[in-house]
Amino acid sequence: AQSVTQLGSHVSVSEGALVLLRCNYSSSVPPYLFWYVQYPNQGLQLLLKYTTGATLVKGINGFEAEFKKSETSFHLTKPSAHMSDAAEYFCAVIAANAGGTSYGKLTFGQGTILTVHP
């Protein structure tokens, strides 16, 4: 079974400051990891994903995340926050070799609301 913990339900930064959103996962099998963003009254949009290969993955809008197996983490970062980054961010995990009843099941964290101050 998989689970995701996002540390901090709310994160507040100043415009231009570093954004760091924390995600730790638990998985008994190799995971695929994702970060999604949700703007108010909209669906989820994929920011980036890790499947295999390079552990530092770059996504849209200047975001990146690093898969650290030893720390079971997949933290999301952006060097300089913009006002337009204000949204809710979700980390998600899926078992890479999922089968049976778990085949397409994305397991999400509780979400982190990012506020950006001018």
Partner 1 sequence: DSGVTQTPKHLITATGQRVTLRCSPRSGDLSVYWYQQSLDQGLQFLIQYYNGEERAKGNILERFSAQQFPDLHSELNLSSLELGDSALYFCASSVGGTPRNEQFFGPGTRLTVL
Nearest to 24 by CA among 58, 68, 61, 79: 68
41 to 80: interface string for partner 1, x by CB under 8 A: xxxxxx--x-x-----------------------------
**Which of 17-25, 64-72, 78-86, 108-116 is the region at the interface with partner 1 (rule: CB under 8 A)?**
108-116
When asked if residue 22 is in the footprint of partner 1 (CB under 8 A), the reply is no
Helix (H) or strand (E) holding 31: strand 31-38
Encoded tokens for 94: 């899926």
Please tell me the distance from the alpha carbon of residue 53 to that of residue 29, in angstroms, as a whole number: 16
Interaction site with partner 1 (CB under 8 A): 32, 36, 41-46, 49, 51, 90, 94-98, 100-111
